[in-house]
Structure 1
């Protein structure tokens, strides 16, 4: 495997959806999502899937000239299915058109299954749910050909790993909407369920720096426990997990041998001009006493101490602040609209190999075709200075930044074609700024 693919494949597993974890892990066609001021609070509580969330039905009323009619009762929510299976598949074609990368078209694909079995299926409580999540990829990826951050979220893999993985977890939900989940969990599901960003590799933004921002603390697939508690306009979350990546592992092999990782977060629903939004603050860290060797690309591995200085500290902590706010809702298409997305993260550095990062942009549904989706965002990532200095003699590294734009044309429910372009100024100092264009065909059923 060449240096470029190694960099992209492993760096992907530094990813986390901490700053994006305001929504329940549902896989819906995000171009069909309807949103109201209650969306963020209820979605974060795990209280309902996106297509079950109540809408804001406020209308302007003429003065009454007679007795008021009794208010109609709100429609009742359908009972949850004892067994629910969803499958989403995407096919990708992309080609670098500028920069140092070879101008070679590549084809690849990914399919994900989402199986949920409630306790009522076998005579148990309906608020207990078993989740099974298989995933499979195929083909050739362009990840690592231009930047260190993978430009295709759906296709990134750790170094030396295969194409198939299976996650399994148990989730219990109380009547208050609070949930507790334990097991092996893929965080892509959380980022994919968040309105405005709504990116999980199949839908929305494609670059990992926006879809599932790397933290260098939390792996994309983890083993642990997650507690989510909604309270009024607030959503509180607490996670405890193994800091080692669990991709293609059962979850028991590492057994917290590298330490214990944690996350504590609070999100508040906002309303500006009667438009929904959310602001989220999260603190994440671990007790590990060295850098994350399983997610740092080999090309970035520092020399051993005392020659190298990076990785000689114990414990790590990072802060994340994110903000998502709708600026326009389309009256002709209830729940459709567009808004802004912004995120910033900073860590204490060593042993975390990313010291700060962030993005900002816009995304949503155009008014002329509200079933479609579009997005435009800028991202920036900085590696920790100690690491950059340690490897400068063999690989000069600087900050990585880029811009991504996409448009999804929705042919029918569950079927969409996305055009995507990314301009990336690579962290590898001797690479020229690169441009990659691509197409993504996604089918969900």
Structure 2
């Protein structure tokens, strides 16, 4: 697995390019799960882009119900099929509805998860991202709300609580946020161990003709299932800066993006890890202050593109490097291919490889408790667009777990998404 996985990663980066930079060239803010400060509009079921331009309604509400069945097919897991449910509402309000002009917009996202999943049964990374947030088990509710000011230049500033999955859902090649597209967290929202999946802060984006610039300033603590206001910046300050440069290969849209993430937090991000992976005080890991990581991302359409009514197919890749302690990830990579099959623009497919490496210091600190190694896996999915309301996805994941005693395992799954 490791040989062809590395080759696929190199291929994805070598061909890199993609949606984000082309959007910058067109003067609009593209999506990026770790660099888009705009409040995400309600995720749309992946449909061909329309050439008609419409004026957004002053208020819009979209409801999405996603039902999941996870079933371990091989490996050491003895679990039976697990059923889970995720309910999301996406409410977008223009400023004129609450006494401001329409350069302001309010985005509200309540979400509820219920039921069970196979998260933690096979790999260390969640295999079902949608059922991992706002929590990994039981019935859990969360609410995010943020206000955005957009200027005529296209620059925008968002302030409030942001569900970063809302941003990842907008990516045309890999997007979906776990509700659509890939389900494993490695693809749905590639973890950085610095930028939380739900955050409180201020997010600035500045599009120019040559590049798209972003700057986030946020509380580095995970804001899931809490407002985050009473303890804002109590443990330090986090920041992310990125630049996205437009690129084309053979006339197809593409982008190259460099992202730098840092925080002044002391200690490991404990809310992002299960208790068994939190080192004991005095272990020698997680007691430093300050984190830093660099991310190089690339994607490239090979066929069609985001504005093509027939859809498109593209490759993607990402490499992540951190300075280590107290960050629990050090070197990671993922790559793959995804898009709409020819003649079936209402359908979608994807095939991806990932490898995540835990920081050596953390592995050593936990050696007596649980033996750890790199986690590597492959995910494949195919989505059938039954109609505008229903989408059915079959998913397969082959995981070589970071928990060394676990056998390599195959996980199957079904997902039915209903949107109205």
After TM superposition, the score normalised by the length of structure 2 is 0.88
Query: Are 2:42 and 1:27 equivalent residues in the alignment?
Result: yes
Alignment of 1:314-329 (within 5 A): 314-329=289-304
Per the alignment, residue 284 of structure 2 pairs with 309
Partner SS state of residue 55, structure 2: coil
Judged with a 3 Å threshold, the aligned counterparts in structure 2 of structure 1 residues 309 and 324 are, in CA distance, closer, same or farther, namely: same
Partner SS state of residue 366, structure 1: coil
Partner SS state of residue 250, structure 1: coil
The alpha carbon displacement at 1:303 in A equals 2.1
The alpha carbon displacement at 1:398 in A equals 0.2
Whole-Å Cα distance in 1 between the matches of residues 391 and 218 of structure 2?
A: 36
Per the alignment, residue 364 of structure 2 pairs with 389
The alpha carbon displacement at 1:410 in A equals 0.3
Per the alignment, residue 406 of structure 1 pairs with 381
| Structure 1 spans left out of the alignment, 5+ residues | 1-16, 35-50, 56-74
Per the alignment, residue 13 of structure 1 pairs with none
Alignment of 1:30-429 (within 5 A): 30-34=45-49, 77-157=53-133, 158=135, 163-305=140-282, 308-329=283-304, 334=309, 336-429=311-404
Partner SS state of residue 259, structure 1: coil
Judged with a 3 Å threshold, the aligned counterparts in structure 2 of structure 1 residues 82 and 385 are, in CA distance, closer, same or farther, namely: same
The alpha carbon displacement at 1:27 in A equals 3.2
Judged with a 3 Å threshold, the aligned counterparts in structure 2 of structure 1 residues 161 and 228 are, in CA distance, closer, same or farther, namely: farther
The alpha carbon displacement at 1:277 in A equals 1.3
The alpha carbon displacement at 1:123 in A equals 4.4
Q: Name which one, 1 or 2, has greater alpha-carbon Rg.
A: 1
Whole-Å Cα distance in 1 between the matches of residues 138 and 54 of structure 2?
A: 41
Judged with a 3 Å threshold, the aligned counterparts in structure 2 of structure 1 residues 20 and 365 are, in CA distance, closer, same or farther, namely: farther
- Residues 39, 148 of structure 2: 8 Å contact kept: no
| Structure 2 spans left out of the alignment, 5+ residues | 1-31
The alpha carbon displacement at 1:182 in A equals 0.2
The worse-fitting range, judged by mean Cα deviation, of 292-301 and 176-185 is 292-301
- Residues 270, 277 of structure 1: 8 Å contact kept: yes
Partner SS state of residue 143, structure 1: coil
The alpha carbon displacement at 1:86 in A equals 1.0
Whole-Å Cα distance in 2 between the matches of residues 180 and 375 of structure 1?
A: 33
The alpha carbon displacement at 1:250 in A equals 1.4
The alpha carbon displacement at 1:269 in A equals 1.9
> What does the per-residue CA deviation read over 1:199-254, in whole Å, with 9 as the maximum and x for residues that have no partner?
21110000011111111111111000000111014110000000011111112132
Judged with a 3 Å threshold, the aligned counterparts in structure 2 of structure 1 residues 33 and 269 are, in CA distance, closer, same or farther, namely: farther
Partner SS state of residue 32, structure 1: coil
- Residues 116, 138 of structure 2: 8 Å contact kept: no
- Residues 26, 192 of structure 1: 8 Å contact kept: no
Whole-Å Cα distance in 2 between the matches of residues 332 and 131 of structure 1?
A: 25
